[in-house]
Structure formats: structure tokens, C-alpha cells
Structure 1
Amino acid sequence: MQQLKLSLASGTNAGIKPINEDAVACNVPDDTHLLTFKGACFVVADGVSTAEAGQQASKTAVQRFCQEYMQTPDSWSVTYSAEQLLATINNELYELSHSFSQQQKGFLTTFTALVLKSQTAHFFHIGDSRLYHWRTGVLKQLSEDHTTVLSEQRQFLGRALGMDAQVKAQQGSISIQAGDRFLLCSDGISDFINDSVLQQQLSQISDAKQCCDSLLALAKTNRSDDNLSAIVINVEAIPEQSFDDLNQTLTRLPFPPALNPGMKLDGYKVIKTLFASSRSHLYLVADELDGKEYVLKCPSINYDDDALYIDRFIREEWIGLRIQSPYVVKVIRQCRPRTFLYYLMEHLNGQDLEQWLELQAKPLKPSQAIKLVKQIAEGLKAFHRMGAVHQDLKPGNIIYLADGSLKIVDFGSVYVAGLAEIYSPLQQDAALGTAVYSDPHYLLGHNSGVQGDIYALATITYELFSGGYLPYGDKVEQCRTARDYDKLRYLSASQFNPVIPTWFDRALQKGVSLDLAERYQSITSLLRDLQQPNPAFLHEEVKQERKANPLLFWQLLSGFWFVTLLLLVWLFLIRR
């Protein structure tokens, strides 16, 4: 079958400015499967010059979109994939702009993306960078300038990526033909080369690189006072068959039947069943092509008519592909067609942390325990960097490997910040997570975001250092309402392990505080207080010691006056 064939060129430079706040990115996969099912991706972004972090914002936006678009599930449409990515990227930039830890403020950028897939061009646009389509000598601007004009000399940008908590992008699509050309450019090009000249350049210079270089040079000749960026794409050939209905086709993939050792599925031979429940099944399989072993996760046939379950299962794969960390299980990008709904993960030769802890002497040595905590924390940070929250962190979802390293597994409860449901009450049949490790806010139907993962991490840390005990004891499992949780009282870890200092115990207590205003806001803050004494906690320790002996001050004062009296009597006797 005829494949999509493109030729292209891109360029960006600072122009007459001291730094280049523009960024461009292109991703045309060599892999036939990716090119067919995901297409080719092109992005131009122009960091807002009045924002201090415009350069970082534009670079982040183009790199993240081009890389992560290819990691979205095959079953997602181009539009749905782009919407999810733009929401998460916008959320990251917006949070950075409003973070007290950032010295720079204003992570804002324009954004124009083009995805060419099968016989269709899809575009997504925010701001005043531009997208043009050229066909048989006629040039048309597809993007709309999100600017407000006050006068001929004064105008301002009305929309940018990272400007608001929710992103509102222009979306569109057109059918493409062989011979079509596309131009993506920043306003350093479009403001200094009018449309008639752009049309002339695209009509006369067929080679993509020569055309791109000519536009950059012409804008500079025309005294452009801005950064210069352009991408020129020539459509050489298009597929014979359209894949517009791909999303519907793939989401209708049948659920695999229960698999037994020796059975084969799309070139993977089942070795054994690793796990089976009413919601999913895990199998150890071997690739018949190279013999490599993987874990194959299948949905349960109990939910084959549940659209929300199917969507959540598909999203698991996407989340796993986005999270790249040595402390998180790796989801494998598949490059062969699937006849059933499933996804692959790396095979981890180890046991879950809960099983491993049962065989260890308790409590663990502090050096060993803190090493484990730091690895879990790094895994969680990988989720948080991508705007994701694990929401079901527990020892059973952490694999302990033979070399002493850890990996977080299970993406079934993960939610992604920036999506509509992330900070709204959870709407599902059962509460997320396990009672003793999950933030009570989750269990009461409210999403506490990153702070929920901090609660789970602090609880696991408490368990490791105390020798298997929990911050609120077993009573937490009987809690059902907010009133039940209000009755809970923190149990000092030092009563189970006397070597735990007060400052360390206070860090644990803050990490599992039921009041979100008191709980840590970041994993970094929790780790810092676990590894070195927080002066505030030391001050509290001194105050507690003073409070523990309220007569100490008066005893010292009385002693001082008694000694003074003896001295006066002695002096009186000497003078006599």
C-alpha cells in the first residue's frame, strides 16, 4: 500500500535579537506502523517576549508535543491525542508560571502544530504564529491570529499556551493531495513578508530547504526585528486508503479470551499466568521473533461492554509510554498490528515490596530504608513531571528487584493533571487505592493531586522505619466518613522504634497530615526534611522539652537566688 511521503526543511535563528525564543520541531517516523497510525508531526512555537521564561516555554512545548504525540495510543484520534497533550503541556506551563519556587515567571508561548496522517492534515493553533496551505499556486492561511489590535502600532496577544488554567486552541483539518505544501512560521517571518510574496516564494521554489532558507533570508533583508522560524513541508504522495475511522476500528478490538500456557497472540507465546482478577489479567509472554520476554496485560471480559473501562484501559498504555524513569515499569511501544485489546510491559524479575518486607528483619536499617524511600520518590517525581498522579501507591505496587532497586508499577488508578476530571470529584464505582496507604481525601471522593501521592509515600516511609506499623494504626481501615477520620490521631513512630529522632517523626507526621494546608506540597520538601533536621522541628523539640518540665525555669531561678543569698551572707561574715 502507498505510504505518506514527505520532503521538508526547517530553520530557526535569533535574527537581530540577542537570544532565540522561537522553537521548531519535526517528527516524521521511520517506522511504517507509526507513520500509518500516528502520522507526521510539525510544531512552531514563539516564546512570548514579555514573559521572562518564553524561551523555556517554547522549547518545552515543541519537544513535548512532537515526542509524546507519537506515544499516544493507536486507538486515539489525532484530535483527541492533541487535546490531551495540549491540556497537559498547558497545565505544566501554567503551574510553572504560578510556582513560588520559580525565580522566573511567565512560561508563555504561541503554538502551531500540524499533523499529517493518511489523507488528512490536522492543525492546532494558539497565538500569532501561523500555518499556511499552498495548492496549485494558491496560498491560504489556515490559522487565526489570536491578537487584539489597538492601533496600527499597538496590538497585544490575546491567547497563549500557559496563559490560563485551561487552554483554548483553534482546531481544524483539511484533505490533502500530492503536491500540497505547508508553511509553519513565527511572526518574525509573517510580519515582514506579506502573503503575496509568500505565495510567490512557495510557487517558484519547489525544493523545501531552498524555500525555507530563502524565507529566513528574505525576512532578515526586510529588517525583521524578531526571531525567525519556518518549516516547509512538501507532500510527495499520500496513502491510497483513508484511516479516518481508525479510532472506531481499534476501540472495537475484541477482548482476548483467558489465555493458557502455550497459546499464541499476535506473535507472543504465553509462558504462564502472573496475575488474574475480575478487572484484568497479566501473562508472561515471549516474542516469537526474538525470544524477549514481556508482561502482557489484558482487560477482563467482565467489562467488554463498558466504554469507560475500555477508555481507561487504553489510557493506561498512553500514561505508561509517557513516563520514562528507571524507577517506573516500562511500557513497550508496539510496532505490529493488534487483533485484540492489550498492551505490553517489561518483565521485572523480582517480588513486590510487601512480600519482600515480610522476609526482612524489622525495622530496616535506616540507611537501607532511606535508600528505598529515595527510589520510590524518584519514581513518583517522574509521574508528577508529566502532570500525572499515581493515586494507588502501596508496597504491593512497587517491585523489589534482585539488585536492590525498585520500580513502581500499575497505571490503573493514574490520572493526568490538565484533563477535565483530574481535580473534580472522582466518579467511579469504587474509591481509588488501598485504605491504609491512600489519602483519605481520595477515599472521600476528592482528588488532592500530588499531595495524595505524598501521603502514600510518607505512609510507606513510616512503615519502613517503624518496623511495619502505620501512622494512624489499624483504625484507618474502619473509617467511612469525614467524621471518622477526624477522630484519628497520629501515632509517634518513635514509640515503635526509639532510635527515630523527633525531627524525623515530625516530618512523617507532616507528610500524612489529614489537613492539606499542613501537608507537604512537594516530594522534594518531604525528602529534604527526612534527610536533614528541619530547624522548625528542632525548635518545636526544644519547646516541647521546656513544656514537659514547666518547673524547670522556677527551679533554676530559685537556685540562682539561693546561691546569691549564700554569697551575701558570706560577704557579711567576712566584713565582721
Structure 2
Amino acid sequence: MPDDRLEVAAGFATERGPRADNQDFGGVHLGSPEEQRLHGVIAAIADGVGGARGGRVAAELAVRSFIDGYLDQKPLSGVAASATAALRGFNRWLHATGRSDPKMEGAAATFTAMILRGREATVVHVGDSRAWHWRDGVLTRLTDDHVLNRPGQDHMLFRAVGIESDVKLDVRVQALEPHDRLLLTTDGAHRALNEGEIGRILGRRASPDADAQAIVQAALAADGQDNATAIVIDVIRTGALDWASLGAQSEALPMPPPPKAGEIVDDWRLERQLADGRHTRLFVARDRQGGDPVVLKFPKPGGLSEADLRAILLREAFIGQHVDSPHLGRTLPVDPARQSRLYNVQPFHEGGTLHGRLSRGEPIPMAEGVRIAACLARAVMALHRQGVVHRDIKPDNVILSPGGGVKLIDLGVARVERVEETGARAPGTPGFVAPEMFAGDSDGEEKTDQFALGVTLYRLFAGEAPWGEVDPDSRLPYERPTPLTRRRPDAPAWLEAAIMRAIAPDPAHRWADVQDLVQALESGGALAVEPPREMSLLERDPVRFWKGVSLILLIALIVSLVLG
């Protein structure tokens, strides 16, 4: 499989020039590999415009606050939405502070940031700093200056961070390829140099640090009269596709009827059919170039519209690459040059479904069940933290590996924040659908996921539903669930209480958050996971025990009388 990690190199340079102080500020946040995968690489530059002290403070805080605020957003909300929310929050604070603190009166800053994630760079911009893209000798400016278009006034800003209570931002997305160069500059750099001179420096392809320094020094040598700052970023390797580009690639792939076992697709040998659902067909496959077995999921045209089938696979691919949990099924990236038709690739996990294990009619030991329950709840919690609602939690979508692994799978009908809904089908499976969904008051949210999880956990321990076997097309008797301990007498009281709360008919009576259910399962599980000891005769059959004791005492009495 291709390496899906984004790899970049960055360089930074700044000089105050003839000014008394430097009111520019810039920064690059690379983060950990996991942070890069979820949020991307962040580069930002700002130029204070509100006076000596206030301008410098505004510029530095704009960059630092933006980076912190962006990293606090949910990655699946989208780069542009997360970046906009992060900067608008700081803008409101700066505008209010500039009106109440004399030391910050009129403080404002230009601001330009680039977020590199997957195979795209998203530019967020206000003011007259600039973002640039260089590829194969061609330099392209990605931003427009927000200055007055009048002779002698082209240095006067009409938009910047802090000027108004709300800030209007320009957003632009640039597709990335390996060997691209990206550049951020303050006006002290690009006003002293024309685009040809900037392009020639970038075309030298020295290190990012060396070329950032060269741009700043060239600006000062050209009689620049302002602070000058430059950030240069080299794209060494692009990462996994993000939502928009993933969707575009999906649209370009044909969707013929699904193949059969034994066929070869894009150098994958389909070894055996794993499942054949309503809308997809799954195969265990192996790359003919080597590697571990994987699962290939193909759409089945005919039952749904082509758009809905594409949406199912696209959602699963996107969520599977962006939500990280050891208890969630993943989706593996595929080299676009290799893929000739629409399908998803997932890791292959040995084992079977929870449904399959329950169908054998053997009760799951209490300690093992509590561990599985906690893992499932953690998987759902990981989805909810990223703004994803699964909408089809059930034993069929839980894989139990021989080594004890637990995976929640099938994200095709999941809801993702800020992603358009598909009309594929009403989400959820009869018997697991919360009453508010059955009544049409909800089409899936965190509390309905919790309900389906609660029903799944009830089945995990009891082997059947809380309401027994009922017509799946009729409304469940939600108000009369059978207490867990009636069907599983060895279930501790805390476990029964935790699960029965999750399946409460009224969403207000369920857990406030799945995280609370996780804590209940893990804290209570510490009391329940001790291996069972063999019960004594007194515990198993006290009547028989005391009869035996009485017989022994009677015999002893008779012996004492005879011998006496």
C-alpha cells in the first residue's frame, strides 16, 4: 500500500529592516505524525498594523491563537471551516480589546495562513500579506491584497484582523503535488521584489531556510522600507486524499457490476468472497506484489442510485482514514494510478462477527463481555469526538478477532458534520432504532447511537433483545424492556444499570455522553473481571451441606455412646 503521510520541509526568515522594531510574526506547526494526519501542517504569517506595541502583540497573538484554535477544532469539520472558526474567535477578542485597552487601541494585523492536509493546501487570508504557489518554474499568487485601489493609497488596508467585530476571510484551495513550493510573505518582502525576482529565488531550489533568507535579504537590498518576513515550504510527499479531492477521484471511477472470486482487479487477486450485502460485495484479496491480505469492498449497482452508492463508499473511505481508534475499522488509501474502478480497501481481520458468536447460543463469559463492551463504547466515543454518528451499530457490525481484538465496522451510512446527506436509505436496523428515530423525530445523532450501542451490549450479555423477539417492522415495546439480570443472573447490578440507562426510551434519561458509559464500564469492570473461583458445597447447595454435617455429627455421637 502507498505511504499516506504528508511530508514537508519548512524554512523561516524575518528582518526588521530600517524600522525600529519588527511587527511581523510567523510560525510553522508541524506537529506529531498523528496530528499531521488529522489536522495537517499549519503555516501562518501576520503583520501588525496598529502601532508599535499593539501591532506586534496583535501579530504574534494572531498566529499563536490561530494555531491553537485550529487544533482544537474537529478535523472532520473540514479545514476551511475549522480555520475560519479559529481566526474569527481571535478577531472578536482583538476587536474588543482594541476598544477597551489603551495599550492596544486600534491594534490590528494582516493574516495569511496555509493548512496542508492530504493533497491540498487551504489558504485563509485577510489583509496584504500574501500566499504563493510555485511549480515547474511557474509562480502563482493565491491571495488578493485588501487595500484601497487608489493612487497613493494602495498601502491602506480596508480589511484586517481586529478592524471589525467580525472578519471576512478569503479562502482558496490549491491542489498539491510532490516538489511543489509554497511561500508566505509580508508586504515588506513582496513590495520590494517583483514576482519574477521571487520566482527566480524559489527556482534555485536551495533549502527552504536558505531561500526564505534569500527573499528577505533581497527585499532589504532593494531598499525595502519595512519589516520583511518569508516562510518557504517544500512538499516532499503528499498525503491521503481529503473529502473534496476524495470525492472528485471517486466520481471519476467507473462502477461496473461487482467481480467474482478468483478474478484479478488492479493486481489484487480476489481469493474468496467474504460477504454479499444489499449494496456491496466483499472479498478477501491479496496484492500480487506481496503483503498481508486485505478486504476489497465493491458497490453493487441496481439497488440504489449511482450517487448513493458512491456516497456510501466515499463516507466509509473518508471516516476510515481520519478517525483513529484501535477499535474502529480502517480504510486504506489506494494509489490513484493503480485504481481503475470504484472500491474500498480495508485491513482484513481474522475472526467473525459478534452476531455469529451469539448465534451459537453460548453465553459470553462476564469478564470477556465487559471488556468487549468497553472496547465498543470507546469506538463509538472516538467517532462522536470527531463529529461522526455511526447510525447502524449492531452485532453484525462488530468483528471479534481470535486474539481478543474488537472492531466496529461499516461506516457507509454514518453522518459526518458539514457533509451533505445521501438519500441511500433510512439509517439504522430494525430492533436497534431509537424511538425518536422510529417516530421520525431524528435521523441519527449521538443519543441514538448510544441507544443502538445499549441494545448491542444487552444482546452481548443476554443473547437476545431487551424486548424479546418482536416483529421488526412494528414499533418496539420501548417502555417495557426486560431487566438484564432476569436473562443473565450473574450480571452485576452496576452493569445492568449502565446498559438499561443507555436504552432508556427518553433520550434525556440516557447517558449525557458515551464517554460516561465508557467510564461506567471500565470502572465497574475492574470489579467484574476477576476469574471465577470454584464455589464451595456450602455456596452451591447449603441444604445438602448441612445435611452432611448433621450426618457426620450423628455418627460421631453414636460412636461416642458405643465406646463410652
What TM-score comes out, normalization by structure 2 length?
Answer: 0.63
- Select the residue among 157, 163, 166 that pairs with 1:155: 163
Alignment gaps of 5+ in structure 2: 1-6, 33-39, 46-58, 90-109, 148-155, 237-243, 525-564
Alignment gaps of 5+ in structure 1: 1-5, 28-40, 69-82, 96-108, 161-167, 237-243, 422-426, 534-576
1:394/1:183 Cα in 2 relative to 1: closer, same or farther (>3 Å)?
same
Aligned twin of 2:344:
343
1:532/1:338 Cα in 2 relative to 1: closer, same or farther (>3 Å)?
closer
CA RMSD of aligned residues (A): 5.1
Secondary structure of the residue aligned to 1:407 is strand
Deviation digits for residues 302-339 of structure 1, max 9, x if unmatched?
A: 15852232233233222222233321223221124222
Aligned residues: 442
1:463 to 2:459 alignment: yes
Looking at structure 1, the residues matched to 396 and 164 of structure 2 have their Cα atoms a distance apart, in angstroms, of 53
Aligned twin of 1:497:
488
1:490/1:306 Cα in 2 relative to 1: closer, same or farther (>3 Å)?
same
* TM alignment of 1:50-65, pairs within 5 A: 55-59=67-71
Aligned twin of 2:198:
202
Deviation at residue 58 of structure 1 after TM alignment: 3.9
Deviation digits for residues 182-223 of structure 1, max 9, x if unmatched?
A: 5225xxx55xx364136598378554422324678999x999
Contact 1:88 1:419 in 2 (8 A): no
Identity %: 19
Contact 2:284 2:348 in 1 (8 A): yes
Deviation at residue 530 of structure 1 after TM alignment: 3.5
Deviation at residue 137 of structure 1 after TM alignment: 12
1:474/1:341 Cα in 2 relative to 1: closer, same or farther (>3 Å)?
same
1:399/1:116 Cα in 2 relative to 1: closer, same or farther (>3 Å)?
closer
Aligned twin of 1:358:
359
Deviation at residue 90 of structure 1 after TM alignment: 7.1
1:88/1:409 Cα in 2 relative to 1: closer, same or farther (>3 Å)?
farther
* TM alignment of 1:311-350, pairs within 5 A: 311-335=311-335, 336-350=337-351
Secondary structure of the residue aligned to 1:477 is coil
Deviation at residue 399 of structure 1 after TM alignment: 0.7
Looking at structure 1, the residues matched to 367 and 229 of structure 2 have their Cα atoms a distance apart, in angstroms, of 52
1:526 to 2:512 alignment: no
1:488/1:284 Cα in 2 relative to 1: closer, same or farther (>3 Å)?
same
Contact 1:7 1:234 in 2 (8 A): yes
Aligned twin of 2:296:
296
Aligned twin of 2:445:
449
Looking at structure 2, the residues matched to 91 and 443 of structure 1 have their Cα atoms a distance apart, in angstroms, of 35
Looking at structure 2, the residues matched to 420 and 284 of structure 1 have their Cα atoms a distance apart, in angstroms, of 31
1:322/1:234 Cα in 2 relative to 1: closer, same or farther (>3 Å)?
closer
Aligned twin of 2:130:
131
Secondary structure of the residue aligned to 2:192 is helix
Q: Which amino acid aligns with 2:43?
A: V
1:174/1:345 Cα in 2 relative to 1: closer, same or farther (>3 Å)?
closer
Aligned twin of 2:275:
275
1:474/1:428 Cα in 2 relative to 1: closer, same or farther (>3 Å)?
farther
Looking at structure 2, the residues matched to 134 and 252 of structure 1 have their Cα atoms a distance apart, in angstroms, of 26
Contact 1:352 1:397 in 2 (8 A): yes
1:50/1:516 Cα in 2 relative to 1: closer, same or farther (>3 Å)?
farther
* TM alignment of 1:219-234, pairs within 5 A: 230-232=230-232
Deviation at residue 45 of structure 1 after TM alignment: 4.4
1:52/1:515 Cα in 2 relative to 1: closer, same or farther (>3 Å)?
farther
1:366/1:132 Cα in 2 relative to 1: closer, same or farther (>3 Å)?
same
Contact 1:21 1:55 in 2 (8 A): no
Looking at structure 2, the residues matched to 125 and 153 of structure 1 have their Cα atoms a distance apart, in angstroms, of 12
Q: Which amino acid aligns with 2:131?
A: Y
What TM-score comes out, normalization by structure 1 length?
Answer: 0.62
